[in-house]
Amino acid sequence: MDLLETIFDTLVSFTNLGYIIGLWFFFKKCRVKCWYALIPGFRDFKLSIIANRENDGRRFLFFRLINTFLYTFRYFFDKDSSEYTTVILLVMITAVPYFIFSLRIYLGLCERFGKRKRWTVCWIFFEWYAALYWAFSKSIVYVADEEDDIEAVPVSGINTVGSGKELTINIKERTVKSLFSKRTLLKDIHLNIKPGHMVLLLGGSGAGKTTFLNAVTGYEMADAEIILGTDNVYKQYKTLKHNIGFVPQQDLMRGTDTVYRTLADAAALRLPTNIKGDERKQRINDVLDLFGLGMLKTSLVDKLSGGQRKRLSIAMEFISDPKLFILDEPDSGLDGVVARGLFEKLREIADQGKIVIVITHTPDRVRDLFDDVIVLAKDHDRSGRLTYFGPVEDSFEFFGKDSFEGMLLAINQKEEGGEGRADELLIKYNALVQTAAVGGEA
């Protein structure tokens, strides 16, 4: 009996070694770091990435870790106890999704390499053989995705320097990490926005507009330097946050409060604590009048029209008289006439020497009110990049389009119904920036 156990353990050791060796060279073939083959669980996650089944890989890893933990935990109980039986039952239950997701990963491998689905049986029951065969067989050829072979668009390498009055943005990158992978959301964004300018933030879905705004306001810090006037937003966030107004798409007002009470609550939160009561009341009334809400101060929020609610939402952020004012789709749900009036009010705010940045899905109907436009687009690595920043009128010539909608069409990926010219335009813009820097204009 001892001899049989020894033989069995030896066979298991050899098969495990064969699996590791096979994966080591298979990962090398697929341009994955070979040492991942040494880490149980995570090597299967890397297989899922090769198979274009990353989501299945995440779920597989989750259940694999739980299953392994429970299997180890069983040693703390006597084999005849009810606790031991319960743990074994849980091991069997978690093994089901663990098996299903591993099966989906192997099916993805077969699809990726054009092999018959019966290979999944081999991967499950004879994984050492499958790994060795796929590693050394000449019939298993790794073909990189089309975008993997595209040369990355280089960064501009140029930081902007302000004069002490502008909003100066230098974002090196904004990344998020997941397990052993890192994704770059934003990269190489450098610009100056002058006081008194109203700026349109334009970009397709997933281009990083919201991530960009969060980085600028300090809500989510990036590897960046954000200077508002002479102050560093990241280093002086607590003192500067009241100088930055942000109006989200959805308002957070209580419908049972009056307009005046809503604005008074905002004033209590955003105005300095040492401001006198009379000064606070005067500021509230001034802002109500500025946004055309003076006659509605006793009205309930629930009784306001869509345009009036939006003006009140903006007034809540404007109560602290911020230098930087950011709005995410302030015209959402409003008709053309009401939306136009709202943007004209934002134009008045900018003319007071404020910096106003706006996201809107209908920019062409108010294009005459903007000074500049920021255009973000996804490069081939799916990172948000600055494809254009400058005067609105110059942007149409740069893109060769006569509308903002046409610009979006140019930068969106082909699978999104666009022209897929983001990289081309990014290279063009970087060349202009570098030329301006050499000429002393940047």
For residues 240 and 128, state if they share a domain: no
Residue 1 has pLDDT above 60, yes or no: no
For residues 329 and 395, state if they share a domain: yes
Q: Does 69 map to a domain?
A: yes
Residue 322, phi-psi category: left (phi > 0), alpha (psi -120 to 50), beta (remainder): beta
CA distance 266 to 242: 11
CA distance 345 to 198: 11
244 by Cβ neighbours in 10 Å (0-12 / 13-18 / 19+) ranks as buried
Of all residues in the chain, the percent with pLDDT exceeding 90 is: 40
Residue 2 has pLDDT above 70, yes or no: no
Residue 442 has pLDDT above 50, yes or no: no
Q: Does 294 map to a domain?
A: yes
Section 378-398 average pLDDT: 92
CA distance 259 to 158: 47
Q: How far is CA 144 from the centre of its chain?
A: 25
Q: Does 157 map to a domain?
A: no
Backbone torsions φ then ψ of 211, nearest 5 degrees: -60, -40
**Taking the CA atoms of the chain, what radius of gyration do you get in angstroms?**
29
Nearby residues of 248 by Cβ (< 8 Å), 6 or more positions away: 328
For residues 240 and 113, state if they share a domain: no
**Within a 13 Å sphere around the CA of 92, how many CA atoms are in the beta-carbon half?**
6
CA distance 50 to 113: 10
User: Residue 199 — very low, low, confident or very high, per pLDDT cuts 50/70/90?
Assistant: very high
The predicted pLDDT at position 238 comes to: 82
- Domain with 80, as residue range(s), is 2-143
The predicted pLDDT at position 141 comes to: 84
Residues 167 and 355 sit within 8 Å (Cβ to Cβ): yes
For residues 129 and 185, state if they share a domain: no
Indicate which CATH number applies to the domain containing 391.
3.40.50.300
Q: Does 149 map to a domain?
A: no
Helix ranges (DSSP H) in 174-276: 209-217, 237-240, 259-270
- Coil/strand/helix, residue 154: coil
From 78, 111, 143, the end of a domain falls on 143
Section 30-55 average pLDDT: 87
User: Residue 3 — very low, low, confident or very high, per pLDDT cuts 50/70/90?
Assistant: low
Per mean pLDDT, which range of 150-159, 240-249, 279-288, 321-330 is the poorest?
150-159
CA distance 143 to 353: 55
Q: Does 162 map to a domain?
A: no
The predicted pLDDT at position 12 comes to: 58
The predicted pLDDT at position 5 comes to: 55
User: Residue 165 — very low, low, confident or very high, per pLDDT cuts 50/70/90?
Assistant: confident
User: Residue 425 — very low, low, confident or very high, per pLDDT cuts 50/70/90?
Assistant: very high
CA distance 432 to 26: 44
Number of domains in the chain: 2
Residue 148 has pLDDT above 60, yes or no: no
The predicted pLDDT at position 7 comes to: 61
Nearby residues of 70 by Cβ (< 8 Å), 6 or more positions away: 87, 90, 91, 94
Residue 29 has pLDDT above 70, yes or no: yes
Among 259, 337, 239, 344, residue whose Cα is nearest residue 301: 259
For residues 271 and 329, state if they share a domain: yes
Give the mean pLDDT of the chain: 87
pLDDT, tens digit, 9 for 90 and up, residues 184-196: 899 999 999 999 9
For residues 253 and 191, state if they share a domain: yes
Q: How far is CA 165 from the centre of its chain?
A: 29
pLDDT, tens digit, 9 for 90 and up, residues 317-370: 889 889 999 999 888 878 878 889 889 999 999 999 999 999 998 899 999 999
> For residue 161, how many other CB atoms are within 10 A of its CB?
13
For residues 132 and 182, state if they share a domain: no
For residues 69 and 183, state if they share a domain: no
pLDDT, tens digit, 9 for 90 and up, residues 366-379: 999 999 999 999 98
Section 394-413 average pLDDT: 94
Q: Does 160 map to a domain?
A: no
pLDDT, tens digit, 9 for 90 and up, residues 63-116: 888 888 888 888 788 888 888 888 888 889 988 988 999 999 999 999 989 899
The predicted pLDDT at position 233 comes to: 92
Tokens of 20: 């590791």
For residues 138 and 256, state if they share a domain: no
The predicted pLDDT at position 439 comes to: 62
For residues 73 and 196, state if they share a domain: no
Section 211-228 average pLDDT: 93
Section 270-297 average pLDDT: 88
Q: Does 218 map to a domain?
A: yes
For residues 175 and 119, state if they share a domain: no
Q: Does 161 map to a domain?
A: no
CA distance 17 to 10: 11
Section 259-280 average pLDDT: 88
Of all residues in the chain, the percent with pLDDT exceeding 70 is: 93
From 111, 143, 175, the end of a domain falls on 143
> For residue 304, how many other CB atoms are within 10 A of its CB?
19
For residues 50 and 15, state if they share a domain: yes
Per mean pLDDT, which range of 123-127, 153-157, 164-168 is the poorest?
153-157
- The sign of the dihedral angle between the CA atoms of 25, 26, 30, 35 is negative
The predicted pLDDT at position 213 comes to: 94
